[in-house]
Amino acid sequence: MARSPTASDARAGSQIGRSLPRLEGRDKVTGRAEYTHTMRVPGMLHAKIFRSTVAHGRIKSIDTTAARNHPGVRHVVTIDDIKRFIPNPYYGPAFHDQPILADRKVRFVGEPVAVVLARDPHVAEQAAQLIEAEYEELPPVFDEVEAVTADTFVHEQLKPAATFPDLKHLQGVSGTNVALDYRLRRGDFARAYAEAEHKFEHEFKTQKVLHLSLEPFATIADYRHDGVTIHSASQGPSFVRIEIARLLGWPENKVRVKVPYVGGGYGSKLYIKLEALAVALSMVARAPVKVAVTMEEMFYQITKHPSTFRIKSGVDRDGRIVARKCEVYWNGGAYADIGPRVAQKAGLTASGPYDIDNVDIDSYAIYTNVTPSGALRGFGVPQLAWALESHMDMMARALRLDPVEFRRHNLLREGDIHATGTPIEDAPLDTVLDTVLDRLAWTQPLDRGSGTIRRGRGFGIAIKAVVTPTTSVAILNVSADGSVTLYCGTVDMGQGSDTAMAQIVGEALNVPAESVRVVPRDTDVTPYDMGTLGSRSLFHMGHAIQRAAAEVRDKIASLRQEVGEPAGSNAPLSALFQKRYGMQAGNIIGSGAFRPDYVPPSADTGQSDKATPFWLISAAGAEIEVDTETGHIKIAKLVNVVDAGTPVNPKIVATQISGGALMQLGFTLFEKIHIDGGQITNASLADYKIPGLHDLPGTVENVCVEHAQSNGPFGAKGVGETSMFCVSPAIANALDDAVGVRLTELPLAPEAVLRALRAKAGRPIGDD
């Protein structure tokens, strides 16, 4: 039998930097890893959702008679049934604006209106088609800029949650579609812009795209009078627990949320999604209920924010940017979800990684009548970087400046004060820029192609502030044989967090990482964690683990003393427990909590000297081939350079960098949710293409610059989102370099490229 690992099995410094294969690898390659979408519990009913067919309207009637009479149907549920159990059935992380099922009004096509419950999912599906609803249609608003001045309102009154104190002033506001307006003011933009030698003004747009995790949303809820158990594909079990407890008026400890492995999240499975509905249905049915959606229904849950970004920059005669104004409109869809947080947190760095004395930023979270928007791997920064780094190249070109030197001349450097008022620390922008240029062989001439195939190259660089302030708690349990168990709420949705956290435990307690048991997320045992989002987990949970480990080490030292071991003794842990309890018995438990220092930005100026505990930095470079006959862009080489601090697991970090960049490649080149009059016309994988093996660039290089994050756990920091930021502008800049056309709206699809090429050649393509 294998001997239990002990403190002497690993040496200090040996666990960080190991490319240990994922701890759960065997379960994943044998098909045994558990996911909520394929999970069953005894006696459960299946739910099928009946959805709105209009974008904005009052519900005149819902006829459920035929569905109720369908053989095998157990319940047909509308909001009125739910209100008998949950009188105020509205939820959401930033605003309590989303009803569990449509309540008097529908606000987007696809909004859940009623649910059929049956033992057989096919019966539920058939019966759902028998429901009929009548609506009195209201004028809808779809565009984020039009919504600001529109006289139609998605919500009659704004209902901010108490979660974020800085939203309280919006309580009860009516007559607006603006859910949040974030402001930053530094210096005097108006004066500096007026006096600037060169003035530039551009507008950029991004499209609506889908996270499209291959595991669709799924939740099972089992409500009993003394508690509710929820199994969910969730990135934030603690948030689900607190929000469900609030809806039910229960203490947290009566709500148990269990999360097995999650088949991809990318921000979509954050906060609260199907959980409130599943719990309500289980209350109505007094049986466990599973709500598991199809791929098509994913298009009606949550998407990335489309955006409109208007930038003005003033540049002096030396090529210094002296003034910048950023107006960003985030199309949040019908319910706020975390959109106000995206508007605010992305707003922090909307002026980019540049040292500019006079900055105005206005970032607006907007309600519209489409599927809600939320976080998608970057919290808005990919949309910003696309605009900012395109804008930088456009200015450099107009000023006949070298795009590299123009950036170097303006880049933020260590010790500079960022536009927020927070110092730039541990943000090696120069190194990241130099590395991407080196990997692109920027100083060497590029083969420009010939005939109908033209080649070009481009790059971009970006900065992001991590979502702050957030809290993580970890518990470590050392058993009497010396084996170590970690309890933490970080959700492993593919980013490898279980493995990375085990490596941090291993490093802190000198045990091999693979000997550490990481307990699957279960709020009955795993302590609070704000959520697995925004590249925050490794830093925050890593710190919590270090603190828990420090407590464990102190307790081991006390135990040594207690059992009379001489100072400097290295008797194994199992011997200490044996001495103390007379047999293999007992535990040592340490816990640690971490919340970084934070000063909330001033509401008027956005200024704070501690807006973020760390900066995320990345650059991307692309060499592309453009087919001038078809407008098709082929990526010959994609270089992704990030600052990940000290990589805990270099192999997993490289996979994260590569995977994020390839996902952003889809968002850059072809992904787009098409909406016609509020109706999504391509809600399936057949009509919404995502990157496959054939879309892999000729070469992909993924690089971490050498840099230890001075306040990070063992020098580490997060990396899940970083490689998303600069792929789009790098390719747009390469397109301009190759064929001299500039696109300011994503995606850079063949049709858009071809139209631009033909327009440039004086032979525009008509719209019909």
Partner 1 sequence: MSAPRTISFTLNGSPVTADVGPHQNLVELLQTQFGLTGARESCGQGLCGCCTVIVDDLPVSGCLYLAAFVDGADITTIEGLGSDDELSPVQEAFIEAGAFQCGYCTPGFILMVTKLLDEHPDPDEETIKHYLSGNLCRCAAYAEVLDAVRLAARKRKVQTRAMPN
Binding site for partner 1 (CB under 8 A): 21-22, 24-35, 37-40, 72, 120, 122-123, 211-216, 261-266, 294-296, 493-496, 651-652, 655-656, 658-660, 662-663, 684-686, 690-694, 696, 700
Burial 82-112 (b: 16+ CB within 10 A, else e): bbebbeebbbbbbbbbbbbbbbebbbbbbbb
Smallest gap, in angstroms, from Cβ of residue 662 to partner 1? 4
Q: Could you tell me the end-to-end alpha-carbon distance of the chain, in angstroms, rounded to an integer?
A: 74
Smallest gap, in angstroms, from Cβ of residue 529 to partner 1? 19
Smallest gap, in angstroms, from Cβ of residue 497 to partner 1? 11
> How big is the CA angle at 112 (ends 375 and 125), to the nearest 5 degrees?
120
* Cβ atoms within 10 Å of 29's Cβ, excluding its own: 10
Smallest gap, in angstroms, from Cβ of residue 667 to partner 1? 12
Smallest gap, in angstroms, from Cβ of residue 669 to partner 1? 13
Nearer CB in complex with partner 1: 332/534:
534
**DSSP per position, 710-751:** TTSGGGB---TTGGGTTHHHHHHHHHHHHHS----BS---HH
Nearer CB in complex with partner 1: 10/652:
652
Asked if residue 321 lies in contact with residue 410, where contact means CB atoms within 8 angstroms, the answer is: yes
Across the beta sheet with 105-106, what order do the strands follow? Answer: 105-106, 57-63, 132-137
As a whole number of angstroms, the distance between CA 639 and CA 651 comes to 17
Tokens of 232: 């969910």
Nearer CB in complex with partner 1: 662/757:
662
Peptide bond into 288 cis (omega under 30): no
- DSSP H/E element including 754: helix 750-760
Runs of H (alpha helix) within 399-523:
403-410, 429-439, 497-509
Smallest gap, in angstroms, from Cβ of residue 233 to partner 1? 10
Nearer CB in complex with partner 1: 35/164:
35
Nearer CB in complex with partner 1: 69/558:
69
> How big is the CA angle at 173 (ends 209 and 372), to the nearest 5 degrees?
15
Smallest gap, in angstroms, from Cβ of residue 727 to partner 1? 12
DSSP 353: S
Smallest gap, in angstroms, from Cβ of residue 637 to partner 1? 13
Nearer CB in complex with partner 1: 39/228:
39
Nearer CB in complex with partner 1: 471/655:
655
As a whole number of angstroms, the distance between CA 718 and CA 472 comes to 14
Nearer CB in complex with partner 1: 22/304:
22
Nearer CB in complex with partner 1: 527/720:
720
| Amino acid (1-letter code) at residue 643 | D
Smallest gap, in angstroms, from Cβ of residue 295 to partner 1? 5
- Contacts of residue 583, Cβ cutoff 8 Å, sequence gap at least 6: none
Asked if residue 94 lies in contact with residue 44, where contact means CB atoms within 8 angstroms, the answer is: no
As a whole number of angstroms, the distance between CA 400 and CA 143 comes to 35
* CA quadruple 656, 657, 661, 662: dihedral, nearest 10: -50
Nearer CB in complex with partner 1: 34/405:
34
Nearer CB in complex with partner 1: 181/296:
296
Phi, psi angles (nearest 5°) of residue 515 = -90, -5
Write down the residue that tokens 């998608």 correspond to: 376
